[in-house]
Copies of this chain bind each other. A is one copy, B any other.
């Protein structure tokens, strides 16, 4: 069976389709055409159909797409029908912000624990999620079958923590540290580089001001 590689650009758009379909569902919309979705999302209808047909024919000629069905199918493609056990490495504000975000669980991401080096945090918990010290890390990853580690640490500590996580068998790292992690090819990394995002905004502000000088 010939497996065609799906491009990153397509994968990046899937969660947005998923979000819009979820909203349509909440509003009781049962079916939608690529044309209608196109105008709501400001992408071309052609792109929507092209994207979806990477994974299968989810629509029906003359009818369009069943919203609930398409929502669920995209959910499966994204792996949201499976349980993913997560830990958060770093109990600071960002780590706590992630721990407090309840919607992750609705998507199948279960935050099982938070880890920190600061002994002051020992025994505390965030929204019922206990904060552990690093000594427990290895057994916790094994026993709780943790797949994903969210790395919310200063970059100075991120590298050694990554080495540890890899050693303990973590499958995927959601990296918030401002550094490119060095991991073996069987460990997946998704970066959230906040300062780079802010710099992009800054670039756009700068360019806009150049093009529209104030009188």
A residues lining the B interface (CB < 8 Å) = 3, 6, 11-12, 14-16, 18-19, 77-80, 82, 84, 92-94, 96-98, 100-101, 103-104, 107-109, 147-148, 171-172, 174, 178, 186, 188, 190, 192-208, 211-212
Contacts and interface: CB of A to CB of B under 8 A. Distances in A.
- Name the residue among A3, A194, A202, A205 with the largest chain B CB count within 10 angstroms: A202
A199 B14 contact: yes
A84 B203 contact: no
Interface secondary structure of A, over-half rule? helix
The number of times this chain is found in the oligomer is 2
A80 B202 contact: yes
A103 B195 CA distance: 8
Contact of A15 (B14, B77, B193, B212): B193
B92 A97 contact: yes
A16 B178 CA distance: 10
